[in-house]
Structure 1
Amino acid sequence: MLRKLTARGERWPLSRPFRISRGVKTQADVVTVEIAADGAVGMGEATPYGRYGETTDSVLTQIEGVRAAIEAGASREALQVLLPAGAARNALDCALWDIEAKLCGRTVAEMIGAPEPRRMVTAVTISLDAPSVMGEAANSLSGCPLIKVKVDANDPVAAVRAVREAAPLARLIVDPNESWSVAQLEVWQAEMCALEVALLEQPIPAEEDRALERLKPLVPICADEAVHVRADLKKLAGRYQAVNIKLDKTGGLTEALALREAASAMGMTLMVGCMIGTSLAMTPALHVARDANFVDLDGPWWLAQDRENRLVFSDGWLTPPSHGWGMHAARP
């Protein structure tokens, strides 16, 4: 079956700045893919990430390099060989899932033999700022079941304490985005434990995580930048207790589902996360988030405006779109 591939970069302004230890974002720069065939269109979205050397232009160049194969009918399985894990493969892989669902008359959930995604708790993120400002943000989110706190190495304890005091009942994920040293982690993890932090996400640089083998964790430590695909799991044992699965890292839903299964078999705690993007990027991840221990898919919550088929966010809960990606027809 011949297909037509379209790929473009898009910019989606944020409603307020999003700060982490690496910098600040005021817009989401994404790559959107459309694959048209036999009257149907499958869509996918990915966010190029500078941490991995990606830009909008580099991702579009990767996609252009496999255009002929995709338009000639390359399968999702073939795509895993054509491109490495990353944003370009993610956008294409998700578009291939979507077009297949629309052409075969089954939803993606039916294709993978799982229930349709349902309303679920998602983390809502408090971006890096002065502790007093972060406490104010937490106060407005105090009814949310799960809050993610972005910190750096500049007095993170004060920031987390301010959030904890404002939201005493919420589970907390603390994310330093690789900004701590091993020595700082050894000191601060006791404070994180005292503040009842549920998960500590990638506190030290992934390249230095061998040091975690000698650390006795007081709070479960989650691999983010340290894990992209199944092949990375073999080095995580003895270092991490959890893994954060992101489709932009795995290169799409196909590998994300496989990583989820492999990590579960190892007894790892499962987290499903995201980059900042629209609901088109989050919807495929809902199929990985099913029964995950932690879900962090609030990317669209930061946007000034989302796509038409959007996730609905309310008090730390997300509701899947009623139609659109991965569904052959609108739900009744």
Structure 2
Amino acid sequence: MISKRLSVSHEHWPLREPFRISRGVKTGADVIHVTITCDQVTGHGESVPYARYGETIDSVLDQINGILPDVEEGIHPEELLELLPPGAARNAVDCALWELMARWQGRSVASLLGLEMPTELETAITIGVDDPAKMGEKARQNSTAPLLKVKLDREQILDRVRAVRAAAPASRIILDPNESWTMDILRSIDEDLAALGIDLLEQPLPAGEDEGLRDYRPRVPVCADEACHTSGDLPALKGKYQYINIKLDKTGGLTEAVRLRQQALAQGFGLMVGCMVATSLSMAPAVLLCAGVEFIDLDGPWWMARDRAGGFQIDDGMIRGISGDFWGGTEVSKPAD
């Protein structure tokens, strides 16, 4: 058995402007970067600890360092599922293991998992919470993007949405209140949102306090984000949500994300693939989940003051520059016998 070497670090990446949601404001992305090296071949993974799920930089670093001997002795991502719970720590290690295995074999992660590596993708461009005029101006600046995602709280909901819609009449729109609404709010504006042509409503109610959605028939379909982490959550979401949002930092990496995708489709859920605000290294594994997905929200690098070398280019709501050279490996042609 050839031994492996795991390295883990905390990195801070400044944003080009503040990112506002209902929970607060971010000015930088704090990420965990994992590398696993075996005989000069290296796999990379990145994740974002999230306080909403009880994670901190230190707790995620401790989780990863706690399994360092197991990883360095050699484990498969399936075995990692038994060592770490879903979350940021497992995500970074899982993605690094998949890339290491792919590059070691001269293959791609896409081929190992039976997934597609796209050459480009449509992504939502996110508009943070602000006063209606400023949100409208942001929408106008990005009105050529096919899909916008609008962050909201409980204040000035319809004023903000109307401002965005007026400024971007052709764009599809996702609304994301980040658990800040109540059923009363939802019922009172559902018809207005439908009239404004809103395409998807992401996690309007707090996870665990969403029983009011059961058998509710919204005019705008509702997507589970904070309420859906892994495939084990799906049975409780039936009858409440029409879509689920797959994020690697919730599933704990590609291994469980692929399982969640398969089971969600089999159970009749529509799909969204989302992200935390992070560099292209966080987005690269997630693009493998996007084939046939209706709503893709992988604009994390668009918020970066700078990105990793070789990362994605995002403009006009399109992700370009997707490459297995950056992350994931490529198929190596073998000479004929």
Classify the TM-score, shorter chain. Answer: over 0.9
The aligned counterpart of 1:181 is 182
The aligned counterpart of 1:225 is 226
How far, CA to CA, are the matches of 1:88 and 1:219 in structure 2? 34
How far, CA to CA, are the matches of 1:330 and 1:106 in structure 2? 6
Q: CA deviation at 1:118?
A: 2.1
Counterpart residue type for residue 201 of structure 2: L
How far, CA to CA, are the matches of 2:267 and 2:130 in structure 1? 36
- Shifted more, 269-278 versus 207-216: the winner is 207-216
How far, CA to CA, are the matches of 1:266 and 1:287 in structure 2? 21
Contact kept in structure 2, 1:272 and 1:297, CA below 8 Å: yes
Q: Given the two structures, how large is their TM-score scaled by the length of structure 1? A: 0.98
Map Cα deviations across residues 213-269 of structure 1 (whole Å, 9 max, x no partner): 142211000000000000000001110000000000000011101100000011111
Contact kept in structure 1, 2:117 and 2:287, CA below 8 Å: no
Map Cα deviations across residues 91-129 of structure 1 (whole Å, 9 max, x no partner): 000000110011000011111223322211100000000
The aligned counterpart of 1:292 is 293
SS across alignment from 2:288: helix
SS across alignment from 1:137: helix
Seen in structure 2, the aligned counterparts of structure 1 residues 309 and 330 have a Cα distance that, compared at 3 Å, is farther
Return 5+ residue gaps in structure 2 as ranges.
none
How far, CA to CA, are the matches of 2:235 and 2:299 in structure 1? 29
Q: Is 1:25 the counterpart of 2:30 in the alignment?
A: no
Counterpart residue type for residue 327 of structure 1: G
SS across alignment from 1:239: coil
The aligned counterpart of 2:87 is 86
Counterpart residue type for residue 245 of structure 1: I
Map Cα deviations across residues 166-208 of structure 1 (whole Å, 9 max, x no partner): 0000000000000001111111212111111000000010111
Map Cα deviations across residues 137-173 of structure 1 (whole Å, 9 max, x no partner): 0000111100000000002111110000000000000
How far, CA to CA, are the matches of 2:8 and 2:123 in structure 1? 29
Contact kept in structure 1, 2:136 and 2:166, CA below 8 Å: yes
Q: CA deviation at 1:53?
A: 0.7
How far, CA to CA, are the matches of 2:225 and 2:134 in structure 1? 26
Return 5+ residue gaps in structure 1 as ranges.
none
How far, CA to CA, are the matches of 2:88 and 2:321 in structure 1? 22
Q: CA deviation at 1:75?
A: 1.1
SS across alignment from 1:207: coil
Contact kept in structure 1, 2:137 and 2:167, CA below 8 Å: yes
How far, CA to CA, are the matches of 1:219 and 1:280 in structure 2? 33
Map Cα deviations across residues 69-106 of structure 1 (whole Å, 9 max, x no partner): 00000110110010000000000000001100110000
The aligned counterpart of 1:239 is 240
Counterpart residue type for residue 238 of structure 1: G
Q: How many residues align?
A: 331
> Which of structure 1's runs of 4+ aligned residues deviate more than 6 A?
none
